[in-house]
Chain A
Amino acid sequence: MWKTILRRVVIMIPQIVILSLLVFILAKFMPGDPFTGSITPQTDASQLHALKVQAGLYDPWYTQYVHWVVNMFHGDFGTSYQFKEPVMAVIGGRAVNTLWLSLFTVILTYLIAIPLGLLAGRYEDTNLDRGIMFFNYVTYAIPLFVFLVLGLWLFGYVLGWFPSGGSISLSANGFFGNALSRLYHMILPGVLTALLSTTSTVQYLRSEIVDQKHQDMVATARAKGVPERKVFSRHILRNSLLPIAAFMGYSITGLLGGSVFVEQIFVYPGMGQLFLNSISNRDFSVITALVMIYGILALFGTLLSDIIMSIVDPRIRIK
Chain B
Amino acid sequence: MSLVEIKDLKVHYPIRSGFFNRIHDYVYAVDGVNFEIEPGQTYGLIGETGSGKTTIGRSIIGLEKITSGQILFNGKDVSTKRERKAVHYNRDVQMIFQDSLSSLNPKKRIYDIIAEPLRNFEKLSDTEEKHRVRELLDTVGLGDDDLFKYPFEFSGGQRQRIGVARAISTNPKLVIADEPVSALDLSVQAQVLNYMQEIQKQFNISYLFISHDLGVVRHMCDSMAIMHRGRFVELGTRDDIYNHPQHIYTKRLLAAIPDINVDQREVHRKHRKEVEKVFDTEQSRYYDKNGRVLPLQQISETHSVALPEDQVKGE
A→B interface (CB under 8 Å)? 3, 6-7
Name the B residues within 8 Å of A3 (CB-CB): 18-19
Q: Which residues of B contact A6 (CB under 8 A)?
A: 19
Contact residues in B for A7 (Cβ distance below 8 Å): 19
From residue A47, how far is it (CB to closest CB) to chain B in Å?
54
- Cα distance A7–B19 in the bound complex, in angstroms: 7
CA distance A3 to B18 in the complex (A): 8
Interface residues of B in 140-163 (CB under 8 A from A): none
Least Cβ–Cβ distance between B255 and chain A, in angstroms: 34
- Residues on A with C-beta less than 8 A from B19 are 3, 6-7
4 CB contacts below 8 A, A to B, read: A3-B18, A3-B19, A6-B19, A7-B19
- With both beta carbons as reference points, the residue of chain B lying nearest to A4 in the complex is identified as B19
CB of B249 to closest CB in A, whole Å:
32
Interface string of B17-61 (1 = CB under 8 A from A): 011000000000000000000000000000000000000000000
Residues facing A in B95-152 (CB within 8 A) are: none
A310 to chain B, nearest CB (A): 15
- CB proximity of B106 to chain A, nearest CB, Å: 26
Chain A binding surface, main DSSP class: helix
A7–B16 CA distance with the chains assembled, in angstroms = 14
Residues of A contacting B18 in the complex (Cβ-Cβ under 8 angstroms): 3
B232-271: which have CB < 8 Å to A? Answer: none
Bound complex: CA of A6 vs CA of B19, how far in Å? Answer: 9
| Contact count A vs B, C-beta below 8 Å | 4
User: Which residue of chain B is the closest to A3 with respect to CB atoms?
Assistant: B19
| B23 nearest CB across to chain A (Å) | 15
B278 to chain A, nearest CB (A): 38
**A7 → chain B closest CB, angstroms:** 6
Minimum CB–CB distance for B253 against chain A, Å = 32
* Nearest chain A residue, comparing its CB with the CB of B17: A318
Complex alpha-carbon distance, A6 and B18, angstroms? 11
Q: How far is the CA of A7 from the CA of B18 in the complex (A)?
A: 10
A3 to B21, CA, bound (A): 11
**Closest chain B residue, CB of each to CB of A7:** B19
In angstroms, Cα B19 to Cα A3, docked, is: 7
Query: What is the CA–CA distance of A242 and B179 in the complex, to the nearest angstrom?
Result: 43
Q: Which residue of B lies closest to A319 (CB)?
A: B21
**Cα distance A272–B197 in the bound complex, in angstroms:** 75
Report B201-222 CB contacts with A as 1/0, cut-off 8 Å: 0000000000000000000000
A315 shortest CB reach to chain B, Å: 16
Nearest Cβ on chain A to B203's Cβ, whole angstroms: 48
The 4 closest A-B pairs by CB, nearest first: A3-B19, A7-B19, A6-B19, A3-B18
A145–B19 CA distance with the chains assembled, in angstroms: 44
Q: How distant is A314 from chain B, measured CB to nearest CB, in Å?
A: 15
User: Closest approach, in angstroms, between the C-beta of B39 and any C-beta of chain A?
Assistant: 47
B240 CB, nearest partner CB in chain A, Å: 44
Q: How far is the CA of A97 from the CA of B18 in the complex (A)?
A: 43
A6 to B20, CA, bound (A): 11
CA distance A7 to B17 in the complex (A): 12
Q: Closest approach, in angstroms, between the C-beta of B16 and any C-beta of chain A?
A: 10
Q: How far is the CA of A157 from the CA of B18 in the complex (A)?
A: 60
Bound complex: CA of A218 vs CA of B19, how far in Å?
Answer: 37
Closest to B20 in A: A7
Give the Cβ gap from A164 to chain B, nearest Cβ, in Å: 54
Q: Tell me the minimal C-beta distance from B15 to chain A in angstroms.
A: 11
B38 to chain A minimum Cβ distance, whole angstroms, is 45
**Beta-carbon nearest neighbor of A6 in chain B:** B19
CB of A73 to closest CB in B, whole Å: 26
Q: In the complex, what's the smallest C-beta–C-beta distance from A4 to chain B, in angstroms?
A: 10
CB distance from A318 to the nearest CB of B (A): 8
Q: Within the complex, what minimum Cβ distance (angstroms) separates A293 from chain B?
A: 30
Q: How far is the CA of A48 from the CA of B106 in the complex (A)?
A: 72
Compute how far the CA of A183 lies from the CA of B67 in the bound complex, rounded to whole angstroms: 67
Q: How far is the CA of A7 from the CA of B22 in the complex (A)?
A: 13
Output the least CB separation between B27 and chain A (Å). Answer: 15
B25 to chain A, nearest CB (A): 15
For the complex formed, measure the closest distance between the CB of B65 and the CB atoms of chain A, giving whole angstroms: 23
State in angstroms the CA–CA spacing of A3 and B22 once bound together.
14
Please give the distance in Å from A203's CB to the nearest CB on chain B. 28
Q: Which residue on chain B has the smallest CB distance to residue A10? A: B19
Residue of B nearest to A318 (CB): B17
In the complex, A179 Cα to B18 Cα: how many Å? Answer: 50
A51 to B: closest C-beta gap in Å: 48
CB B127 to nearest CB in A, in angstroms, measures 53
